[in-house]
Structure 1
Amino acid sequence: MNFFSSIVDFVNGIIWGKNIIVVMLVGTGIFFTLSMKFMQIRLLKDMAGLLIRNTKDSESGISSFQAFCVSTATRVGAGNLVGVVAALSVGGAGSVFWMWIVAIFGAATAFVEATLALLFREKDKRGDYVGGAAYYIQKGLNKRWLGVIFVVFAMICWGGVLQVISNSVTESFHVAFGIDAKIMSGILAVLAAGVIFGRKDKIVRVLEKMVPFMAFAYLILVAFILVKNITLIPDVFKRIFEEAFGIRQAIGGSFGAVVMEGVKRGLFSNEAGTGSAPSAAAAAEVDHPAKQGLIQALGVYVDTLIICTATAFVVLVTNEKITAGLGGMTLLQEAFRYHVGNWGVIFIAFVLFLFAFSTALGITYYAKPNLIFIADKDWLQTAFKIFACCMLFYGGMKQAFLVWALADLGLGLMAIVNISAIIPLRKYAFDSLKDYEKKLKEDKK
């Protein structure tokens, strides 16, 4: 086991430690952004409009809004809380600016991979749309073996993530209520089982209601805190920009840490370029592939520019004497305690539970088309659902650092395979965007 752990750590040290993944994802985002003439900014109004209009169900797919909720559910998770706090602890306020930059460029990558998912999707034996990275790798590049490898990497990653989010939930509830980890992890696993073993559309139905609710509830409290501290907001922005460009850090030689921590946190949070979200996008019922690409690009903005920023601002308007020396969930809970009292600690515990629960459901939905790609067998789907519940239960009781490392490894390898596919296939997505904008102009005339 020690030998295996050493291999995992060695590979992670190369792909993450040497910033190979960061360079690939950010570089691809910049390339796509320039190639599509800043599509994610030019068509921002259309993104929001499409999300509102495309809510109608379909017999062979799901609505654009439901696909948006599924992908947002996995993006908006523990990383939006604990992860942002970790970025602030290591990179300071300046890391927030670089998270914004990554989101803007990442939206272009999200558009390309989601559009490709629509262009290369197919129907399973039940007549439902399925697709994603594995499918456009096979049909676009004619490399089924590479698609199978992507699915294997995805299963490694998602198995680890399920344990990580469960552990975060049990820790927060133990801090807030003193609940034993075994009890809390059992509750989480049972609730998840009740949804994922239901009828085929139960996951999207739950997420369709849960995602807007949890995001709205969290943002309402954050808005209250920020309005209460409105006079501090200008100083927060000033601090973010000063530290982002190393005005303070350059002297201490930590400018690189500010940039890289913000970049890494943004990538971990919004998942753009990793190939996960296309699994949900492919199931959407739309009359043009580019429409779903735009909606998925909007999901990156919601995750990073709104949810992550909200978390960061709550911490940054907190008296530094209160949070000095703290980290992780403790830091965030103490920040909320400072602003709204003891019930803020309880609120964060429940918000984290909702975020983690929705992530678990989203991962289960992602897994379905990827397993169908391997073999369209019902027993394979059932096996993964049992596996997911076991990971939630086990992860809540024990911190398995090897599993965390495997999750990082799986995510990194997923990104490498996915980026290697969407770059040569980019022309299909570019042409789809041109066709969409052409029709958009004709409709306006």
Structure 2
Amino acid sequence: MVSFLENVIALGNTILWSYVLIFLLIGAGTYFTIKSNFVQFRFFKEMFRLIKQPSDKEKGVSPFQAFCISTASKVGTGNLAGVALAISVGGPGAVFWMWLIALVGAASSFIENTLAQVYKIKDKSGYRGGPAYYMDKALGKRWMGVLFSVLITVCFGLVFNSVQSNTISFAFEEAFGLNRSVVGLGVLLVTATVIFGGVKRIAKVSAIIVPIMASAYIIIALFILITNITMLPEMFSLIIGDAFGFKPVLGGGAAAALMQGIRRGLFSNEAGMGSAPNAAATAVVSHPVKQGLIQTLGVFTDTIFICSATAFIILLSGEYVNDGLSGIQLTQAALSFHVGSWGNTFIAISILLFSFSSIIGNYYYGETNIEFLKGSKMLVLCYRVAVLFMVFFGSLTGLDLVWSMADLFMGSMALINLIAIIMLSNIAFKVLNDYIQQRKEGKDPIFYSKNVKGLENVECWEE
């Protein structure tokens, strides 16, 4: 039965990643980049200005907290274990394709998060929204929103959370020799404490964990880069050469590097997947573009900074050529090579914080989509129990199966969301033009639905 399941999942991944998503992700990102006149680069400075702006948090979640919820989901296993898996399977060239999918995918991130703000709705905690809501309200295709809601609830709440706990248990087994079931039980109990506290508790926990863990990890990586500065030209040459097949490593070649880089890049930064918009919609802002730009910054934070930090640590160590190492254990071995035995412990603690923040962010994505499905309190309770079960299950199961399941569900989500945002992109471009016009006039932009001609089914932007 397990073998049959693995074969079905492998076939689905081959179809999605070899023939569909590679072209759709790069094509959509490139189209959005050109059509928006390179919004992700033009407004890079603006992103930092906006994230520091004060907000009326009493009305809901602040822009920074929404950024932290989505970054909590992004910054996790994909940054430490996912990058290691990409390099061990696809070679160093996978890093180049990871960068590329982040740079062009940042434009996709801007489009989906801006749309999430435009079509958000009010609820008892403030606001909620996401792809399911703009599929329903803007496209008039509730069936599409329902399908997406089911996929993201299963993908993030269940499958991705099993990946996170799987990585935590392997890391603690490697560093401290702890029984994986004991680690899984501990993660389950802490997760239960947070997810039963609602979105505001999730936002507060994320706002504390994310800046601390990301900063500490980048500082360690910078130290390693400085102490190995003479090796940097060779490392970059290796990445570029392997990406295009000039220097094939481990027999992976350019094709393997491309596939793994895009898969793991999407798993890590989630640009275009439709996950971050669920967090973006909760933010209280005066103009949808503000949160669109803030969430775009998360793609750069995740891939260009944190994923690159892991890649450099691994490549400068040379540990990736060892056949017996993959995933989080490769990252642990690489850091230990640079800093000594305490590197093992540091990675274990880092992955605990990274992955736990992802678990609570992932949980929220599922909950908000159950609300879209008009789920009862009993359904939400069942979902919470299922999340806790998958957290424990993931800590015990094997590495390959959980990653393959994650790829399949992630790819299915991305396919549906990309189709939707391509169809709705003109609305996002018009909203962006409204923001640009107001900024040129020296205003702090404020959005009303009347600002965009023909904009309908918008609940939260009436004058």
Number of the residue aligned with 1:198:
197
Corresponding residue for residue 188 of structure 2: 189
1:316 to partner: Cα distance: 1.6
Alpha-carbon spacing, 1:228–1:322, altered in 2? closer, same or farther (3 Å): farther
Instruction: In structure 2, give the amino acid aligned to 1:42.
Output: R
Distance in 2, matches of 1:88 and 1:436, equals 40
In 1, distance between residues paired with 2:293 and 2:342?
Answer: 38
Cα 1:320–1:169 change in 2 (3 A) is closer
Q: Report the Cα distance in structure 1 between the residues aligned to 2:125 and 2:220, rounded to whole angstroms.
A: 43
In the TM superposition, residue 376 of structure 1 has moved relative to its aligned partner by 5.0
State the shift of 1:320 in Å: 5.3
SS in 1 for 2:271: coil
Matches within 5 A, 1:128-143: 128-143=126-141
Q: How does 1:83-232 map to 2 (within 5 A)?
A: 83-124=82-123, 126=124, 128-158=126-156, 159-232=158-231
Q: Is the 8 A contact 1:94 1:239 kept in 2?
A: yes
Question: What is the CA–CA distance in structure 2 between the aligned matches of 1:323 and 1:311, rounded to whole Å?
Answer: 17
Q: CA contact under 8 A between 2:127 and 2:281: conserved in structure 1? A: yes
Identity %: 45
Q: 1:190 to 1:258 in 2, by over 3 A?
A: same
**SS of match in other structure, 1:201:** helix
- The verdict on how the C-alpha distance between 1:304 and 1:321 changes in structure 2, with shifts beyond 3 A counting, is closer
CA contact (8 A) 1:74 1:359 kept: yes
CA gap 1:417/1:254 in 2 versus in 1, 3 angstroms: same
Q: Is the 8 A contact 1:157 1:408 kept in 2?
A: no
Tell me what 2:390 maps to: 391
Q: CA RMSD in A?
A: 2.2
Q: SS of the residue aligned with 1:443? A: coil
1:217 Cα offset (Å)? 1.2
Q: Is the 8 A contact 2:105 2:272 kept in 1?
A: yes
1:273 aligns with 2:278: no
Deviation at 1:21, TM superposition (A): 1.6
| Separation of aligned partners in 1, 2:44 and 2:181 | 45
User: Taking structure 2 as the reference length, what is the TM-score of the superposition?
Assistant: 0.90
Alpha-carbon distance between aligned partners in 2 of 1:177 and 1:320, rounded to the nearest angstrom: 21
Deviations 1:260-294 (A, max 9, x none): 32222212211111111100000011101011111
Residues 1:327 and 2:359 are matched in the alignment: no
TM-score by length of 1: 0.94
Question: For the Cα contact (< 8 Å) 2:319–2:333, is it kept in 1?
Answer: no
Deviation track 1:315-341 (CA, whole Å, cap 9, x = no partner) reads 121145985653222222111111111
Change (3 A) 1:261 1:9: closer
Q: Deviations over 1:366-415 (max 9, x none)?
A: 12221110115333322222221111112112238655544332212111
Question: CA offsets per residue over residues 145-171 of structure 1, 9 Å max, x none?
Answer: 111111111122121111121111111
Q: 1:339-383 deviations in whole A, cap 9, x for unaligned?
A: 111111010011011111001000111122211101153333222
- Deviation, structure 1 residue 137: 0.2
Of 88-97 and 178-187, the range deviating more from structure 2: 88-97
Match of 2:14 in 1: 13
Residues 185-210 of structure 1, C-alpha deviations (whole Å, 9 max, x = no match): 01001011111112541110000010
CA contact (8 A) 2:263 2:407 kept: no
Structure 1 segments unaligned to the other structure (5+ residues): none
Deviates more, 1:237-246 or 1:185-194: 237-246
Q: Distance in 2 between matches of 1:244 and 1:6?
A: 28
How many angstroms does 1:56 deviate by?
2.6
Partner of 2:448: none
Change in CA separation of 1:409 and 1:393 when aligned onto 2, cut-off 3 Å: same
Kept after mapping to 2: 8 A contact 1:322/1:335: no
Do 2:91 and 2:252's aligned partners in 1 also have CA atoms closer than 8 Å?
no
Q: Identify the residue that residue 52 of structure 1 maps to in structure 2.
A: 52
Aligned to 2:360: 361
Cα distance in 2 for residues equivalent to 1:396 and 1:207? 22
* Contact 1:118 1:131 (C-alpha < 8 Å) held by counterparts: yes
The separation in 1 between residues aligned to 2:295 and 2:409, in whole angstroms, is: 22
Separation (CA, whole Å) in 1 of partners of 2:100 and 2:393: 36
- Aligned amino acid, residue 110 of structure 1: S
Distance 1:319 1:134, change over 3 A: closer
Q: Secondary structure at the match of 1:362?
A: helix
| 1:145 partner amino acid | W
Q: Single out whichever of 195-204 and 339-348 deviates more from structure 2.
A: 195-204
Alignment CA distance shift 1:401-1:240 (3 Å): closer
Equivalent residues of 1:318, 1:335 under 8 A apart: yes
1:122–1:129: 8 Å Cα contact kept in structure 2? yes
Contact 2:332 2:344 in 1 (8 A): yes
Describe the shift of the 1:200–1:279 C-alpha distance in structure 2 as closer, same or farther (beyond 3 A): closer
Between 273-282 and 3-12, report the one with greater CA deviation: 3-12
Q: State how far apart, in whole Å, the 2-side matches of 1:206 and 1:195 are.
A: 8
Any idea what SS the aligned residue of 1:273 has?
A: coil
Q: Select between 161-170 and 252-261 the one with higher mean Cα deviation.
A: 252-261
User: In the alignment, is the contact (CA less than 8 A) between 2:314 and 2:320 conserved in 1?
Assistant: no
Query: How many angstroms apart in 2 are the aligned matches of 1:181 and 1:402?
Result: 17
Q: For the residues of structure 2 that align with 1:224 and 1:73, how far apart are their CA atoms?
A: 24
2:25 is aligned to: 25
